[in-house]
Amino acid sequence: MLPLRYSFGFNTNVLETNVLNLAVVIGVVITFVGDAIRVILDQRRKTILSALQEVDEKEKDAKRRLIEANQKLDIATRRTAEIRKQTKRMVEHEMQASKKRLEEDLQRLRETSLQSIQLERQRITRDITIQIGNLAIIAAENTILATLGRQSPTYYSRQKDLNEACVQEFSRQIKKNKT
pLDDT in tens, 36-73: 778 888 999 999 999 999 999 999 999 999 999 999 99
- Please spell the DSSP secondary structure of the chain, one letter per residue: ---TTT--S----HHHHHHHHHHHHHHHIIIIIHHHHHHHHHHHHHHHHHHHHHHHHHHHHHHHHHHHHHHHHHHHHHHHHHHHHHHHHHHHHHHHHHHHHHHHHHHHHHHHHHHHHHHHHHHHHHHHHHHHHHHHHHHHHHHHHHHH-S--HHHHHHHHHHHHHHHHHHHHHHHHHH-
pLDDT in tens, 120-178: 999 998 888 888 877 887 787 777 666 666 555 566 677 677 777 877 887 777 777 76
